[in-house]
Structure 1
Amino acid sequence: MSDRGHLKKTNLAATAPASITTAGPMTGLADGPRGAKPRRMLSTRTVIVYGTLFVAAAYYLLPLYVMIVTSLKGMPEIRLGNIFAPPLEVTFEPWVKAWSSACTGLNCDGLSRGFWNSVLITVPSTVVSIAIASVNGYALSNWRFKGADAFFTILVVGAFIPYQVMIYPIVIILREIGLYGSLYGLIIVHTIFGMPILTLLFRNYFAGLPEELFKAARVDGAGFWGIYFKIMVPMSLPIFVVAMILQVTGIWNDFLMGVVFTRPEYYPMTVQLNNIVNSVQGVKEYNVNMAATILTGAVPLLVYFVSGRLFVRGIAAGAVKG
């Protein structure tokens, strides 16, 4: 009996396909590499994409380069006419003059006064508008009160009305309450105009958060402010950064509101920059103008570079979802 079994096993092994006897446990797998075909580093698509990005970056960086190199040159070198050449002799005197002694109208104290005016305008306007808008968005997304839809519709409509058409009525209102021409009046204006779009952003962001967290907090006895401060705010850092960047950029770069609603001693930095660049008295100092321009735009650039990663996260996480 054992001889017949041994002979049977020998015959089966002899007649089995070679792939089965040699493959072992890997039977049935296809031969050769698996997965997507590796891409070539210099494909047509890659060249087009990176070429387009390079052209766009050069388009935006070339003016910045011209401003920087011009601000580091003296006037004799600027008169040679080669605006793209790097400075032969670097000087920071135009920067010092733009900050402390350039004439911005009747005063010749540079941009320093306008810088602190802009800080006093931007900081409270940003903080107050974000605080109110975040509470508005939180209430509209999680606490559905009577008339919430109508209130939200009014805010959305207000976000897309050009503020230029409301300048004259606001001038009359600020004059009647005694705030026209002061920093407080301009702070109120920036705060009010920033709330509609910020409320829209916060409402859409809070609506995208898991509703189970809100319901669980309600079951545990948390109230309106408890849920807001202990759950919503810690989970909403990206959207707060988005709102901060939008407000700081918009308020700091504003010119029209600053020149309309304030007096010369309260002019923000952008208004003083305009007075320096458009001055018609004396020699046109292009290096001082370029240095003043860079100083005026440094704060929004710094804010974005410091928090740009969170800005992208906030946009991707639902800041523009409707």
Structure 2
Amino acid sequence: MTPVLARSKPFTPHAARIGLYTFLIVSAIFFLLPLLLMVMNSLKPLEEIRQGNLLALPIKPSLDAWVTAWKDACTGLDCKGVRPGLWNSIKITIPAVIISTLAGALNGYALSQWKSRHANVTMLLVTVGLFIPYQAMLYPTVKILSNVGLFRTYLGIVFVHVIYGLPYTTLLFRNFYIGVPDEISRAARMEGASFLRTFRSVILPISTNILVVVAILQFTGIWNDYLLGLIFAGNDNLPMTVQLTNIVNNARGAANPNVNMAAALITAIPTLVVYFLSGRYFVRGIAAGAVKG
């Protein structure tokens, strides 16, 4: 007797899956729509924007606003665009990210290895630093840097970003290293390696995920900073964010929304590039537990 094969049920998407994808699509549209409008209006001549067609596609697309924002827009008395601020932001962000990430890794590893009843208290004090607003620390920081001659200097702004980022980076690294088996460090010490040698030769090579995560987060925060750059950088080291604000708030002549939007996009491009180039490593670090704890 020939067995009767059960008829397979037609595939019907589960209601929860439909709801999830609907939510993701709506969220993506919600967050991408402002970016799309900025791109569209940065490509429009000023005459089109003055006609009130902010939501319409550009009739005659042009990169003139981008060129003006890059090298001709006025940031106060200087009309050099955001181009000078690009190098300032790079020379501030790169060393601040490297120093704060490595220092946070060393602090986090030390705290994870510190087997004492004072370790948790110390970690609590470090965590408290995350919740103190910058505004509450600005005046003491200004006084300290003024007394040592670093106020409104290049070294001063790098130092501020490193110090203000240490509680955050230390917390992330400490939570990561708590999950690393103690046998790894113990084996290195049995071979005669010192604390720093163990950290450099054993711990750092297995910390790729957390290093990428922290570096990306630090890069984004420092690059997009406005307040600290305005106060501590000095006129010769103003980052792009400060120059962008000066362009938008410039009172000389009529407002140019297309130039303002182009300048904002130029300022945001480096962070977008970083995420596109290292996004998969960032996701891999999150999935591997780089921010657990």
Establish whether TM, by shorter chain, passes 0.5. yes
Instruction: Report if aligned partners of 1:205, 1:317 keep a CA contact under 8 Å in 2.
Output: no
Alignment partners' CA distance in 2, 1:175 and 1:98: 34
Matching of residue 266 in structure 1 with residue 207 in structure 2: no
Matching of residue 118 in structure 1 with residue 89 in structure 2: yes
Instruction: Report if aligned partners of 1:204, 1:318 keep a CA contact under 8 Å in 2.
Output: no
Paired AA for residue 72 in structure 2: S
**Closer/same/farther in 2, CA of residues 158 and 90 from structure 1, 3 Å limit:** same
Alignment match, 1:103: 74
Q: Equivalent of 2:154, from 183, 187, 190?
A: 183
Q: Equivalent of 1:205, from 165, 172, 176?
A: 176
Paired AA for residue 31 in structure 2: Y
Q: Deviations over 1:1-23 (max 9, x none)?
A: xxxxxxxxxxxxxxxxx9xxx9x
Q: Equivalent of 2:124, from 113, 131, 153?
A: 153
Alignment match, 1:283: 254
Paired AA for residue 216 in structure 1: A
Matching of residue 318 in structure 1 with residue 283 in structure 2: no
Alignment match, 1:255: 226
Q: Deviations over 1:226-278 (max 9, x none)?
A: 22122211111110011111111111111111111233332111111011111
Matching of residue 42 in structure 1 with residue 19 in structure 2: no
Q: Equivalent of 1:224, from 195, 198, 211?
A: 195
Alpha-carbon shift at residue 58 of structure 1 (Å): 0.6
Q: Equivalent of 1:76, from 43, 47, 57?
A: 47
Matching of residue 195 in structure 1 with residue 166 in structure 2: yes
Alignment match, 1:305: 276
Alignment match, 1:27: none
**Closer/same/farther in 2, CA of residues 281 and 220 from structure 1, 3 Å limit:** same
**Closer/same/farther in 2, CA of residues 89 and 81 from structure 1, 3 Å limit:** same
Paired AA for residue 300 in structure 1: T
Alpha-carbon shift at residue 280 of structure 1 (Å): 2.2
Alignment partners' CA distance in 2, 1:38 and 1:179: 72
Which secondary structure state, in structure 2, belongs to the residue aligned with residue 110 of structure 1?
Answer: coil
Alignment match, 1:292: 263
Alignment match, 1:53: 24
Paired AA for residue 227 in structure 1: T
Alignment partners' CA distance in 2, 1:321 and 1:109: 45
Q: Equivalent of 1:233, from 204, 219, 241?
A: 204
Question: Once superposed, what is the RMSD of the aligned Cα atoms?
Answer: 2.2
Alignment match, 1:136: 107
Alignment partners' CA distance in 1, 2:209 and 2:79: 41
Q: Deviations over 1:136-195 (max 9, x none)?
A: 111111254784333322211112211210101111111111111112111111000101
Alignment partners' CA distance in 2, 1:105 and 1:258: 16
Q: Deviations over 1:278-316 (max 9, x none)?
A: 122212111111100001111111111211122122223
Consecutive unaligned residues of structure 1, counting only runs of 5 or more, are 1-17, 23-30
Alignment partners' CA distance in 2, 1:312 and 1:134: 19
Of 218-227 and 301-310, more deviation after overlay is shown by 218-227
Count, aligned residues: 292
Of 310-319 and 133-142, more deviation after overlay is shown by 310-319
Of 52-61 and 212-221, more deviation after overlay is shown by 212-221
Of 57-66 and 222-231, more deviation after overlay is shown by 222-231
TM-score with structure 1 setting the length = 0.85
Alpha-carbon shift at residue 210 of structure 1 (Å): 2.5
Alignment partners' CA distance in 2, 1:171 and 1:39: 69
Alpha-carbon shift at residue 65 of structure 1 (Å): 0.4
Alignment partners' CA distance in 1, 2:117 and 2:76: 53
Alignment match, 1:242: 213
**Closer/same/farther in 2, CA of residues 261 and 42 from structure 1, 3 Å limit:** same
Paired AA for residue 203 in structure 2: M
Alpha-carbon shift at residue 216 of structure 1 (Å): 2.2
Alignment match, 1:25: none
Alignment partners' CA distance in 2, 1:301 and 1:197: 22
Alignment match, 1:165: 136
Paired AA for residue 163 in structure 1: Y
